[in-house]
Amino acid sequence: MIMTTLNVTTQAAAPLLSVRHLRVQIPTRHGPLTALDDVSFDIARGEILGFVGESGAGKSITGMAVLGLLDPPAHIAAGDIIFDGQPIHKLSASQMRKLRGRRIGAIFQDPLLSLNPLLTVGDQLTETMRTHLPMTRDEARERAIEWLRQVGIPSPAERVDAYPHQFSGGMRQRIVIALALCAEPDLVIADEPTTALDVSVQAQVLELLRTQCRERGTAVLLVTHDMGVISENADRVAVMYAGHIAETGPVDQIVNRPRHPYTRGLMGSIPPADQDVLWLQQIDGAMPRLSARPTGCPFHPRCKHATEQCVSTRPLPHPEGVALVACWHPQGLAVEGVAA
C-alpha cells in the first residue's frame, strides 16, 4: 500500500487538520485551569494519528476541541485549528454542526450515548446521510443497508429496521462507525472507540475501522490509553502528558524507540504478554492534577533525568530524527548519534 511513501506525501501535501499552539482553559473560582497547553500537531489526508495518554492528559479534550464540543465553561483560550485550509475554532455553533457529520465524524466510547434509542438504526443512518448529502429517501435506505453490510452486520436488509438495544455491544459500535462514516467525512475523531468492548471484539472492530478508513481515504484521530491499540492501528503517534504533547512520530519509532522519558517509562510499565518478567518498570508518582501542574517541563517531578533547566523552562518540541520530542534530555541514542 501507500504506507511507506506516506511520509513523503505528508510533507508535500498540505495537512488535512492543523492544530497550532492550542490552549484550552477552564475558569474556576481559583483562576483558570489549563487543560491543554500549547498543543500542536498535523493530520495528513488518509492518515491515522494515534493520540495516546493516561487519564487527565488531555487527549479527549483535544478531540472535543476539534469537534467544537467542549463542555462549557471549558473554552479555547488560544491557538488555531485549521481544517482543510479553513480556521474552524471560531466558528459559530450552527456552522460547527454543519461541519460535524459532513466533514468531521465522531465515534465515542459508549455506543449507547451515540445512538438514539428511539430511532431504528436505519433511520439514524438515512437521516444523517440526507442531512449532509443529496439523495432521495429510497437511495438513502439502500445506502444504509449497504453500510450495515460493510460494517459486518449480518442480514442487513432485515436489521436495518431494528433498534439499537437489539444489538450487542460490538455490533452497536460497528453501527456507530457506519454512522460516523456515512456522510463521507474527511476526518473521524475516534475517542476510545473500543475501550468498552471485550478484547475479542475489540480486534474485529478496530480492523473494521482501519479498513473502512483506508478504503475511503478518511483520516482518523484515534484517541486511546491503550498502547497496543495504537501500535496495531496508527500510522503516527502523539504521546500526551499533562496537557502537553511529549513526543510525536511514526508509530514504529515511538513504540520501539521512544526518546521522551515519559514514553519510555510508559512502554516499560506495560506488562508484556509475550514474556515473563519479575517486576514492571514503574514511574513513581502520578500525573499532576489540572490544578497542580508543575513549572517548566510537566514531567520533571517524576523524571530521573531532570535538571534545573527542566524545572524552570518548558521544552518545546524539536526534531530528533523522524520524531518531535519535547524534552531537554531525550534518551535512547546509541553512541554514534544514530537512533537506537
Binding segment (CB under 8 A) for another protein, from list 8-16, 67-75, 84-92, 284-292: 284-292
Q: What's the sign of the alpha-carbon dihedral 229, 237, 187, 21?
A: positive
Binding piece for another protein, criterion CB under 8 A, among 4-12, 36-44, 101-109, 263-271: 263-271
For another protein, the binding residue among 226, 294, 301, 332 (CB under 8 A) is 226
CB of 100 to another protein, least distance (A): 27
Distance from C-alpha of 51 to C-alpha of 248, rounded to nearest angstrom: 9
Q: C-alpha angle with apex 92: 224 to 243, nearest 5 degrees? A: 30
Minimum Å gap between C-beta 119 and another protein is 23
> Which positions from 163 through 182 interact with another protein, judged by CB under 8 A?
168-171
Tell me, what amino acid is at 146?
E
Residue 142's φ and ψ, nearest 5 degrees, are -60, -45
Distance CA 101, CA 127 (A): 11
Spatial distance between the Cα atoms of 14 and 72, rounded to a whole number of angstroms: 32
Please tell me whether residue 276 binds another protein under the rule CB under 8 A.
yes
CB of 273 to another protein, least distance (A): 4
Report if residue 152 touches another protein, rule: CB under 8 A. yes
Distance of alpha carbon 113 from alpha carbon 202, whole angstroms: 18
Site for another protein contains 215 (CB under 8 A)? no
Alpha carbon distance 44, 16 (integer Å) = 5
Q: How far is the CB of 10 from another protein (least distance, A)?
A: 18
292 interacts with another protein by CB under 8 A: no
Asked whether position 287 contacts another protein by CB under 8 A, the answer is yes
CA distance 217 to 74: 32
Q: For residue 267, state whether it binds another protein (rule: CB under 8 A).
A: yes
β-strands 104-107, 187-191 pairing: parallel
Under 8 Å between Cβ of 178 and 141: no
Nearest distance from C-beta of residue 67 to another protein, angstroms: 24
271 binding another protein? (CB under 8 A): yes
Query: 245 pairs with which residues across the strands?
Result: 240
Stretch that binds another protein, among 38-46, 68-76, 121-129, 227-235 (CB under 8 A): 227-235
- Residue 281 makes contact with another protein by CB under 8 A: yes
Contact yes or no for 204/250 (Cβ under 8 A): no
State the residues that interact with another protein by CB under 8 A: 29, 54-55, 152, 168-171, 198-204, 207, 225-229, 231-233, 251-252, 255-256, 265-277, 279-284, 286-287, 289
